[in-house]
Structure 1
Amino acid sequence: MTTSESSGGGDVSRSLELLWGTGERPTRGPKPGLTLERIVATAVVVADAEGLEAVSMRRVSTELGTGAMSLYRYLPGKAELLDLMLDQVQAEGEGTLEEARTWREALHAAAHASLALYHRHPWLLHVNQARPVMGPHAVRALEQTLAHIQDMEGLSDQELMSVIITVEGYVTGVARTHVHAVEAQHSGAMSPEEFWQAQTPVLAQAMASGSYPLMAALDEDAFAGDVDHFGFGLRCLLDGFEALVASRSGRLDAG
């Protein structure tokens, strides 16, 4: 999987105007009912079904049953459209943290919601978001997360942001592994069973050679696919944060 697009790759000022509604809206277009919201929603549907590379002004206009030039009355091009798509999908997580009573519950819920978002919209992993254009849904999501982790006693504002970045980085890594596996299954190559069966004779010989004693001694189910690796890793992260908060509040020896 290669990154093919970037957030903020177009006219950032125009993207911000469109996201926050501060710019002039076009007069009614030639097709009744055509709106910026419909354009963005249609682009997301195309990206979900066929990948981000399938999204173009022409393709989206075709799906909407109008000419490509009609879309340019609403936004400059695909780069700005992408900024709006990124913010739009963030709306799906709104309300995720409402039932969280502690910072730990909030981060747990946020991590699972983020993983689900990547599963629904795998094209997100193709976008370089190192410089995100912050729209209302993205800002609201960050505001809600911050509101639920304020009780991480003793952490500075910079450290609270580090907590969010660390959890999101972990989620992104797991999501990318999952998406890679799905893409491999649909690539038309061997099935997972055929793939590992092809390697079994060579690996069995390698294990019998005595050169890899630790690998050879692993339980047969060590690589079982039904293990919740995501949940295990997330618990470890949250345990680490909990120990940090405890040490800052004097409940745990910092040493």
Structure 2
Amino acid sequence: MELVTYVPSRAELVDLMVDAVLGSRDLPGPDDPRPADWRDQIHLYADRTRAMYRAHPWLSRVSTIRPPLGPGMFREREYVLSAMEHAGVPLERVNEAAVAVGMFVTAAARQEGENVLLRRASGQTNDAWWQERSRFWDDWFDVRQHPAMTRVWEAGGLGGGTEEQAEAAYAYGLRLMLDGIAGDGSVE
């Protein structure tokens, strides 16, 4: 707690820590080389954001509703806004597209950070947790009350929430979002 003596409050210390971690992604600035394709730019942002949450899982416990305004946050915003401009999104919609991408990526990254914290606290992977609960489906699940879930299960679309499935769902969702942006950046 010695650090608190150098900043006015614990909240400001956390803000400084958060912004420093945001900056650690080392996203390219306006004059730095970056991937030529806007989709590759978003994938770079997404990959580095997810890696950041895995490396700093405590970040998943910090609210991002009112983020600290600092160089790390501003660099992220500039980078994602620029990528949306390169995607051909009309300027009046660029921020909406950037916020949507940021929300999706951050939500997935925060879940990864939370997963790291849960694994550390319990010593158990998500896959092991779901495996321990597998008999729930045989003993208590009522197929009449959950017909859609049952149909998806029988088609092989549910598998217990494995990490592999979470990764596939993330990749699918990001692809759909980017396809939608590419298809029509001015969707109402």
Would the TM-score normalized by the shorter structure come out above 0.5? yes
| C-alpha RMSD of matched pairs (Å) | 3.0
> Does 1:138 find its partner at 2:76?
no
Which of the numbers 57, 82, 87 marks the counterpart of 2:14? 82
Higher helix share: 2
Match of 1:178 among 112, 130, 143: 112
Q: Determine the C-alpha separation between the residues in 2 that align with 1:128 and 1:189.
A: 25
Deviates more, 1:197-206 or 1:76-85: 197-206
Q: Which has the larger radius of gyration?
A: 1
Q: Tell me what 2:164 maps to.
A: 226
Q: Which amino acid aligns with 2:112?
A: H
- Percent identity between matched residues is 24
1:139-178, aligned counterparts within 5 Å? 139-157=74-92, 159-178=93-112
Q: Which moved more, 1:117-126 or 1:214-223?
A: 214-223
TM superposition shift of 1:193: 5.8
Tell me what 1:106 maps to.
41
What letter is aligned with 1:176? R
Is contact 1:115-1:175 (8 Å) kept? yes
In structure 2, list runs of 5 or more residues that go unmatched.
Answer: none
For structure 1, list consecutive stretches of 5 or more residues without a partner in the other structure: 1-56, 61-70, 249-253
Contact 1:94 1:141 in 2 (8 A): no
Equivalent residues in 2 for 1:21-60, closer than 5 Å: 57-58=1-2, 60=3
Contact 2:27/2:76, CA 8 A, preserved across alignment: no
Cα pair 1:111 1:171 within 8 Å, conserved: yes
Q: 2:111 is matched by which residue type in structure 1? A: T
Partner of 2:176: 236
The equivalent of 1:196 in structure 2 is 130
Paired amino acid for 1:114: T
Question: 1:192 Cα deviation (Å)?
Answer: 4.7
Change beyond 3 A, Cα 1:242–1:129: same
The list of structure 1 runs, each at least 4 consecutive aligned residues, that deviate by more than 4 angstroms after superposition, is 189-194
